């Protein structure tokens, strides 16, 4: 078969199954038995069979549908991050006359992409295998808010290391030396990299970051409240706190107000996102803006171009975050 184009019939013959079974395995239909799935996967690998992706999508008749896959986490529908991505993707889909199929995942179940022409993964949290499977099936994909260096997939992300650096550098410029952080979920790239950038600057400036000044959070208000209580209970309190999401920063300011701790006179607090709520809280929050809406819109436009077959696009883009100075940060108290 060296000069012959391998067909789905060849795969079925080697695997000793029907063509329908091969098609179901290729399209990730879950009704195939494990035994038959293994036989088909072996045959595909042995014959180096490559499905006709255009024909698959044409047969499905869903070129105008985009799947949005978002990992489930506490408070997702109260999260500015999640809502802004949904809003940006929805707006772009409306402009381009595309349908959006929304899927919240736990990361462990196989993802059926049969009813969409392309998939946007909003971050990758414990669902790496789903991304790998979509890429292997040659489904057009985009990843938002996660740099994927070791997989052939398009992505648009924010430079989260730079975001952590900006936060630490601004506090240092205000002469703070007792600087704490409430991290995001460290299983996420954004949570891990913001902490990495934050530590990098403090180390370069010879400022200690003791373990009691690092609270491992999950971007939620609940963990921010617990973190604020822990920091306030310390014998030596921090004078500045970087909360790795605006939701956490807003909750920490609420705790400070309840405990009659003045912000920023006694403790400076900075967030991350640039949630509009930061403008309308009792104290306008200094934050780091990430262009969520822009990322979401651009992801849809790139994906639509790939789905339509107009051009083969490689999009691996990193966008810079921007410091937004407001009222919640001030000079280190003397």
**pLDDT given for residue 181 in this prediction:** 98
What's the domain count of the chain?
3
> Distances from the Cα of 62 to the Cαs of 56, 104, 120, 171, in angstroms?
10, 20, 15, 50
**pLDDT given for residue 237 in this prediction:** 97
**pLDDT given for residue 314 in this prediction:** 79
Please check whether residues 82 and 138 belong to one and the same domain: yes
Please check whether residues 310 and 166 belong to one and the same domain: no
**pLDDT given for residue 55 in this prediction:** 54
Please check whether residues 107 and 184 belong to one and the same domain: no
* Token duo for residue 251: 């909750």
Q: What's the sign of the alpha-carbon dihedral 320, 79, 84, 315?
A: positive
**pLDDT given for residue 53 in this prediction:** 56
70: domain CATH number is: 3.40.50.2300
**pLDDT given for residue 308 in this prediction:** 79
Please check whether residues 238 and 171 belong to one and the same domain: yes
CB 157 within 8 A of CB 135: no
**pLDDT given for residue 139 in this prediction:** 86
**pLDDT given for residue 1 in this prediction:** 45
| β 268-270/214-215 pair status | unpaired
Tell whether 238 is covered by a domain. Answer: yes
Where in the sequence is the domain holding 34, given as residue range(s)?
8-51
46: domain CATH number is: 1.10.260.40
Strands (E), the chain: 65-71, 99-105, 118-122, 141-144, 154-158, 179-182, 214-215, 240-243, 268-270, 287-289, 316-319, 322-324
Please check whether residues 207 and 165 belong to one and the same domain: yes
Tell whether 166 is covered by a domain. Answer: yes
* Token duo for residue 65: 């549908």
**pLDDT given for residue 62 in this prediction:** 44
Tell whether 332 is covered by a domain. Answer: no
Please check whether residues 66 and 24 belong to one and the same domain: no
Please check whether residues 27 and 120 belong to one and the same domain: no
Please check whether residues 164 and 285 belong to one and the same domain: yes
Tell whether 329 is covered by a domain. Answer: no
- As averages over each run of 10 residues, the pLDDT of the chain (334 residues) reads 71 89 78 89 88 56 77 74 90 91 81 83 82 84 88 91 98 98 92 97 97 95 96 97 96 96 98 94 95 93 83 81 97 90
Distance between CA atoms of 12 and 258, rounded to whole angstroms? 68
Distance between CA atoms of 193 and 12, rounded to whole angstroms? 46
The answer to whether the predicted template modeling score (pTM) of the entire model surpasses 0.85 is no
């Amino acid at each position: 078969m060296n000069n012959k184009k391998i067909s789905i019939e060849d795969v079925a013959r080697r695997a000793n199954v029907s063509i329908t079974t091969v098609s179901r395995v290729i399209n990730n239909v879950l009704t195939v038995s494990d035994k038959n799935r293994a036989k088909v996967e072996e045959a595909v690998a042995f014959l180096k069979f490559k499905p006709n992706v255009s024909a698959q999508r044409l047969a499905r008749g869903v070129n105008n549908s985009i799947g949005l896959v978002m990992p489930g986490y506490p408070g997702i529908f109260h999260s500015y991050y999640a809502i802004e991505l949904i809003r940006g993707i929805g707006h772009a889909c409306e402009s381009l006359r595309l349908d959006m199929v929304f899927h919240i995942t736990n990361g462990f179940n196989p993802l059926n992409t049969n009813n969409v022409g392309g998939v946007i993964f909003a971050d990758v949290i414990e669902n790496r295998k789903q991304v790998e499977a979509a890429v292997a099936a040659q489904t057009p994909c985009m990843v938002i808010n996660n740099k994927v260096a070791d997989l052939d997939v398009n992505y648009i992300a924010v430079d989260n290391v730079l975001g952590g650096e900006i936060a630490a550098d601004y506090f240092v410029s205000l002469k703070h030396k007792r600087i704490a952080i409430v991290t995001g979920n460290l299983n996420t790239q954004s949570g891990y990299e913001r902490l990495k950038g934050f530590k990098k600057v403090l180390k370069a400036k010879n400022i200690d970051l003791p373990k009691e000044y690092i609270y491992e959070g999950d971007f939620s208000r609940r963990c921010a409240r617990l973190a604020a209580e822990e920091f306030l209970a310390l014998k030596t309190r921090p004078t500045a706190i970087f909360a790795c999401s605006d939701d956490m920063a807003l909750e920490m300011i609420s705790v400070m107000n309840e405990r009659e701790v003045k912000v920023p006179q006694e403790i400076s607090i900075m967030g991350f996102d640039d949630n509009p709520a930061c403008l309308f809280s009792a104290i306008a929050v200094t934050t780091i803006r990430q262009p969520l809406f822009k990322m979401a819109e651009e992801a849809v436009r790139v994906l639509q171009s790939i789905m339509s077959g107009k051009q083969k696009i490689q999009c691996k883009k990193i966008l810079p975050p921007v410091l937004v100075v407001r009222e919640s940060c001030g000079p280190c108290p003397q």
